[in-house]
A = this chain, B = another copy of it.
């Protein structure tokens, strides 16, 4: 399947100030009855594909989450494949991220790369950091693809390890001193941004949440990341409560770009919001994405 080049698409988005990421995570019980078909695959594609078209000129990123398709078994995966194909046909310039938040040894990561990049033609994947960058080479070395590494997540309880203090020890003769080196998430951000480690191919992004508990760390992560790394910031919308304007203010780079502010159910199920009563799901999704876009543009222009 043909696909774009991650870095070129990032530059294209930056020029057009497209910072909205649409997380396509459909929940069956929230899909209006009239979209239901005999097969799950038919229901999911019939519901999501019109949104793909409606959002193509507004958002910079699409991000379906693997779990929301895999829950239906092979029929859900077939739907994901077809939605990915629809994205390529109708939105060649939107960056397509497969959110699978995995990370394994090299041979397994190669298998995931084949699904994400070859079968579906996604431009990027999300990745856990715990195995270290060497295991991630099958993703990092893929030319024209991007890898968004989890740095600071938006969920309750994310502090357990992410805000654990780290240290180094130095020994001089009999004296051993322990030096505080910041929180784990800061160390992860530093390694991911490092052009001798995760970023040696210049194609990493970072995931850093925009919820109330995580947003101050988003500003810290932008400082560590520098201007060239794209930050994917989830947690905006009703489900998790984050605010797009605040996310933009804390997470964008010095050019007012380099950011993907994600809303999943807030866009996918915007039609259930009373604000958009009477609208078709694709119209409501586009209205919500346009709202997010305008909110962030106001912050950018005022800065």
Residues of B within 8 Å of A160, CB to CB, are 132-134, 191, 197
Q: How many of these chains are in the complex? A: 2
Known contacts A67-B109, A71-B119, A111-B71, A156 near B130 by CB under 8 Å: no
Contact of A111 among B67, B120, B157 (CB under 8 A): B67
Instruction: Check A104 against B166 for contact (C-beta < 8 Å).
Output: no
Question: Considering the chains assembled together, what is the distance between the CA atoms of A150 and B135 in angstroms?
Answer: 15
- Those of A126-159 within 8 Å (CB) of chain B: 128-135, 150, 153-159
Among the stretches A73-81, A221-229, A250-258, the one at the interface with B is A73-81
- Those of A191-242 within 8 Å (CB) of chain B: 191, 197, 239-240
Question: Considering the chains assembled together, what is the distance between the CA atoms of A184 and B158 in angstroms?
Answer: 15
Contact of A158 among B107, B120, B135, B239 (CB under 8 A): B135
Known contacts A77-B73, A81-B74, A101-B128, A188 near B166 by CB under 8 Å: no
Instruction: Check B161 against A130 for contact (C-beta < 8 Å).
Output: yes
Instruction: Check A65 against B161 for contact (C-beta < 8 Å).
Output: no
Check if A273 is an interface residue, CB within 8 A of chain B.
Answer: no
Check if A281 is an interface residue, CB within 8 A of chain B.
Answer: no
Contact of A155 among B71, B134, B158 (CB under 8 A): B134
Check if A11 is an interface residue, CB within 8 A of chain B.
Answer: no
Instruction: Check A135 against B157 for contact (C-beta < 8 Å).
Output: yes
Top 7 nearest A-B pairs by Cβ distance?
Answer: A134-B157, A132-B160, A167-B167, A67-B111, A132-B157, A74-B78, A71-B111
Give 17 A-B contacts (CB < 8 Å), ordered by A residue.
Answer: A67-B104, A67-B115, A71-B115, A71-B119, A73-B81, A103-B128, A105-B153, A131-B153, A131-B158, A132-B155, A132-B158, A132-B161, A134-B155, A134-B157, A164-B187, A167-B178, A184-B184
